[in-house]
Chain A
């Protein structure tokens, strides 16, 4: 039996050697909370230090830490605008998943981190870029939440979809955080 495809150009293409992360680490960063994005960045940096190729795919709430800190209200229409007001983007505006205490929790956590010389999420994000960690924003989330490339920080990969993320994840250790 011969299968004829009408549009061969839309057939899923296998990931190229350059795109694959065989033996590496792929993290799906779904949560935008400080206490989840922090270990995500620690693991990404550590894996990169171990010489592994590392990709972090930022989706849903996970995209908000990549918004520029001073971005304010984003999106079109009242729903997206309200979303960005209720869930402020930017790494420095992230909340804790527990003991947030209306923002006191994160600032106490950052004070403790400084006291015990634990690197801040911002330092870890900068280091991750230096270490060649690929940071991919999810295109679908950007559309849904009303975020444009201009709303996001520099140094990211081109926005992509789930197929890219899964293709990259082939042969890699994957985490969903």
Chain B
């Protein structure tokens, strides 16, 4: 199955709680099932995105890191 990314949100350089806040705002503009990719540099965001996904029940499909950039792929819950 291939995943189509509906939107990429760049929050590199921003600190807690802005990556989460901006993601929540972006999520509102998506429709159920849409997938969003978030790029961040805040090391705290790894735990925060997992917690946010759990609390809001929007699945976190991927959480990875490459060269100091964290990549989170989230799907808007149906």
- Interfacial residues, chain A to chain B (CB-CB below 8 A): 42, 45-46, 48-51, 116-119, 127, 130-131
Q: Taking CB as reference atom, which chain B residue is nearest A128?
A: B21
Partner of A51, one of B13, B15, B18, B55: B55
Enumerate 17 A-B pairs (CB-CB under 8 Å) in ascending A order.
Answer: A42-B16, A42-B17, A45-B17, A46-B17, A46-B21, A48-B21, A48-B24, A49-B17, A50-B20, A50-B55, A51-B55, A116-B15, A118-B15, A119-B14, A119-B17, A131-B24, A131-B25
Q: Taking CB as reference atom, which chain A residue is nearest B41?
A: A117
Which 9 pairs across A and B sit closest by C-beta, in order of nearness?
Answer: A49-B24, A46-B17, A118-B15, A49-B21, A49-B20, A50-B55, A117-B13, A45-B21, A45-B17
Please indicate the chain B residues that have their CB under 8 angstroms from the CB of A50 in the complex.
Answer: 20, 24, 52, 55-56
Interface residues on B, range: 10 to 19
Q: Taking CB as reference atom, which chain A residue is nearest B16?
A: A42
Q: Taking CB as reference atom, which chain B residue is nearest A52?
A: B55
Please indicate the chain B residues that have their CB under 8 angstroms from the CB of A45 in the complex.
Answer: 17, 21
Please classify the interface of chain B as helix (H, G, I), strand (E, B), loop, or mixed, using the class held by over half of its residues: helix
Per the bound structure, the CA–CA distance linking A125 and B25 in Å amounts to 15
Per the bound structure, the CA–CA distance linking A45 and B23 in Å amounts to 12
- Interfacial residues, chain B to chain A (CB-CB below 8 A): 13-18, 20-21, 23-25, 52, 55-56
Q: Taking CB as reference atom, which chain A residue is nearest B15?
A: A118
Please indicate the chain A residues that have their CB under 8 angstroms from the CB of B56 in the complex.
Answer: 50-51
Per the bound structure, the CA–CA distance linking A45 and B25 in Å amounts to 11
Per the bound structure, the CA–CA distance linking A131 and B23 in Å amounts to 12
